[in-house]
Amino acid sequence: MAIQLTEAARNRMQDYLAKNAGAVGVRFGVKRTGCSGYAYTVDVAEAVTANDIEFDLDGVHVLVDRKWLPFVDGTDIDFQREGLNAQFVFRNPNATGECGCGESFTVAPAA
């Protein structure tokens, strides 16, 4: 089980966490939405729950709820800037498809 961050993603998360006193890390997961079924979520985590799997990724504490881990296990997270736009980009080996705009994805029924 693993989540990986590029240097750009790690730097962005560290900057954001530094501005949020009391944050224990970054919560990474998915939610049901979009035309393909699921969308990624990246939020500040204010507490660790009993359902969390914890990853220490070069100084960034990443939390993933156990129920979402099968959907995101093995995901590489990057942070990219293009013109005025900046966003996290996800390379997920579990995704079996994505919508045209890239905002949502599907996974195999077993997940």
Span 82-102, pLDDT tens digits: 999 999 999 989 888 776 665
What local confidence, expressed as pLDDT, does residue 97 receive? 76
Q: Between the CA of residue 22 and those of 17, 18, 44, what are the distances in Å?
A: 9, 9, 10
Q: How many domains does the chain have?
A: 1
Other C-beta atoms lying within 10 Å of the C-beta of residue 16: 15
Question: Residue 97 belongs to a domain with what CATH number?
Answer: 2.60.300.12
| Residue-wise pLDDT tens digits, 13-58 | 999 999 998 999 999 999 987 666 888 899 999 999 999 999 999 8
Domain residues for 68? 4-107
> What percent of the chain has pLDDT above 70?
88
Q: How far apart are CA 89 and CA 8, in angstroms?
A: 11
- The order of strands in the sheet holding 95-98 is 52-57, 60-65, 25-33, 37-45, 105-107, 95-98
